[in-house]
Chain A
Amino acid sequence: MVEMPSPEHIKQRIEAAIPGAYAEVEDTTGGGDHFRATVTAPAFEGRRRIEQHRLVYEVFGTEIGGAIHALSLKTQTPLKPPTQ
């Protein structure tokens, strides 16, 4: 059984799959299939943007393009604490 994805559901799955991740997710059309997510995670450190996005897409596998028609992403690493 496939649940219709909700922003909360997508947020939880991203945060559960990527250690230390914080995600903000919105449904951009209100239709339950186009989403925009801003994901902040230490795991993105040292990775190119494309690899950061791949990490997030991998959480959903074939659901991207399926139940989730579009997942627009912005990825970032947490602000580093100022050095000493």
Chain B
Amino acid sequence: MSRSEPSPVRDLPMSRPEPARSDEAPAPTGEANPIRDAILEAIEEHKVILFMKGTPDAPACGFSARTVAVLQALDAPFAAVDILPDPRIRQELSAISNWPTVPQLFVDGELIGGCDIVTEMYESGELAQALL
């Protein structure tokens, strides 16, 4: 029974206010963007990470559900981020990825695509290759 369970990322500080940190100098240029930083960090830290509506156990959209099903069909371990709790997550994610819709699957730091591409790549065997 070596089925790998998805490992949802639950502790991203996405919707928490910035903690006050008087010991730190303000960022020299632009404004601090903790949501963007948290997304970038999550993408970097997880080999396979899915940004979705809802959670793997309770997807809130058919496209997210299908993408989760494909990953589970391949027994691929993946991290998951629910974008619904804070609309800024979706905004920042799309700004980073230049991709307008959710779900979005990243492998090795790179956007693979949404439900259509992931499904097509699953059917052609390319996804299994990409997840190795």
Which residues of A are at the interface with B, using a C-beta cutoff of 8 A?
A: 49-50, 53-54, 57, 60, 62, 64-65, 70-74
Is B70 interfacial (CB 8 A cutoff)? no
- Judging by beta carbons under 8 Å apart, are B101 and A70 in contact? yes
Is B116 interfacial (CB 8 A cutoff)? yes
Count, A-B residue pairs, CB within 8 A:
34
Question: How far does the Cβ of B119 sit from chain A's closest Cβ, in whole Å?
Answer: 10
Q: Interface residue tally of chain B, by bracket? A: 10 to 19
Find chain B residues with CB under 8 A from A54 CB.
98-99
Is B35 interfacial (CB 8 A cutoff)? no
- Judging by beta carbons under 8 Å apart, are B100 and A65 in contact? yes
Is B115 interfacial (CB 8 A cutoff)? yes
Is B117 interfacial (CB 8 A cutoff)? yes
List, sorted by A's number, 28 A–B pairs whose CB atoms are closer than 8 Å: A49-B117, A49-B120, A50-B99, A50-B113, A50-B117, A53-B113, A53-B114, A53-B116, A53-B117, A54-B98, A54-B99, A57-B100, A57-B101, A60-B100, A62-B100, A64-B100, A64-B101, A65-B94, A65-B100, A65-B101, A70-B63, A70-B101, A71-B101, A72-B63, A72-B116, A73-B116, A74-B116, A74-B120
